[in-house]
Amino acid sequence: MANANPSDLGQINNTGTADVLFLKQFSGEVLASFEQSTVAMDKHMVRTIASGKSAQFPVMGRSSAAYHTPGAEINGTDINHAEKVITINDLLLSSHFIANIQEAKNHYDVRSVYSAEMGRALAFQMDKHILQTMVQAAAASANVGDSGYAAGTVITSANAGTVSADLIAAIYDAAEALDDAYVPADGRYCYLKPAQYYLLANASNAVNVDFSGRGSIADGTVPQIAGVNLIKTPHLPTANVTGTGVDAGGAGGAQVAAAANTLAIVSHTSAVGTVKLMDLAVESEYDIRRQGTLMVAKYAAGHGVLRPEAAVQIQSA
């Protein structure tokens, strides 16, 4: 009887290393899970650097206008300049070790589940840090020392967490604050906890077409209020973030935020920035000494305030 000729699923064209394809599939699953799970990554400014510990973002003030007196020499006027430096946080990672014997005994695949969970874990942490930085922006002072730039805005509405009309009014106030600060109308987002999002989705003046609403009670959606795109996320910080833990941004505490009683954050894409030193990457290595495989997903990035006037925090107290 002839031996069977197995097809090695991990080989390229049935030649070479037996598992060369497995890591690529695993890496793709992690990346896909990360991209699907983050809601804030594509809604702010992102910059990638090849090396270094920080990146500089130049900030310039606004120009001015004045009437000309006939015969007077035109000498030009000054524009204030400043900079914002965003420092890279510590390396953030998600890891799992799979023992050969445990995987052999198991009756279902775990690697695909682990890959999805690793991507989600890093995506969720990325979202938390970006949203906490938006809270920092709302409480920050102006970047440039002239009247053309404003500080961040904090709006207090005692009942906005439970009364839809009050929350809608607060979002309109936030949009007005952005208008007054010359923040562009395009690229405005309002991040809310699910409780406040569904409060708006169930509000007749937010979804009823008779009120020019664009949402749906059946679907539980409401896309915009006051021209601001609504984003539902459970990662909106609603308590103060302190210390040096993962949520605080590591040893430097870069994402410490005064977020107590936060109900929503209204932010333009230019309000905060992220600097990537090491983009999301995945590594996997078999350890013969431990008879198992170590899988690691990681990134190194930093977050910082760029334009305080482009962020508004809505809080209940």
The domains of the chain are located at 20-59+82-315
pLDDT at 212 over 70: no
Average pLDDT over residues 254-278: 96
Please give the average per-residue pLDDT across 4-32, as a whole number: 61
Candidate CATH numbers 1.20.120, 1.10.10, 3.90.1690, 3.30.310; the one for domain 20-59+82-315: 3.90.1690
Please, what is the end-to-end C-alpha distance for the chain in angstroms?
Answer: 80
Query: In the structure encoding, which two tokens stand for residue 111, read together?
Result: 């690697």
CA distance 252 to 173: 34
Burial class of residue 199 in the structure, from the number of CB atoms within 10 Å of its CB (0-12 exposed, 13-18 middle, 19+ buried): buried
Q: Which residue has the tokens 């420092």?
A: 87
Nearest to 281 by CA among 295, 268, 263: 295
- CA dist., res. 206 & res. 204, Å (int): 5
188-192 and 228-232 beta bridge pairing:
parallel
Of 21-30, 42-51, 58-67, 211-220, where does the model show the most confidence? 42-51
Q: Is 189 helix (H, G, I), strand (E, B) or coil?
A: strand
Q: Would you state the pLDDT for residue 210?
A: 43
- pLDDT of 4 reads 47
* pTM metric for this prediction: 0.85
Write the burial class of residue 68 (CB in 10 Å: 0-12 exposed, 13-18 middle, 19+ buried).
exposed
Q: Which among 189, 190, 191, 188 is positioned nearest to 234, based on CA atoms? A: 191
Distance CA 243, CA 254 (A): 10
pLDDT, residue 55, reads 92
The single-letter DSSP state of residue 52 is S
Neighbours of 69 (CB within 10 A): 8
Please state the rounded mean pLDDT for residues 127-131.
97
Structure-token pair, residue 241: 């973030």
Asked whether 222 and 206 are in contact (CB, 8 A), the reply is yes
Neighbours of 75 (CB within 10 A): 5
Q: Give the integer Cα–Cα distance in Å for 17 and 232.
A: 45
What pLDDT shows up at residue 211?
45
For residue 302, is pLDDT > 70?
Answer: yes
Q: How much of the chain, in percent, has pLDDT values that exceed 70?
A: 86
Task: Identify whether the C-beta of residue 76 lies closer than 8 Å to the C-beta of residue 45.
Answer: no
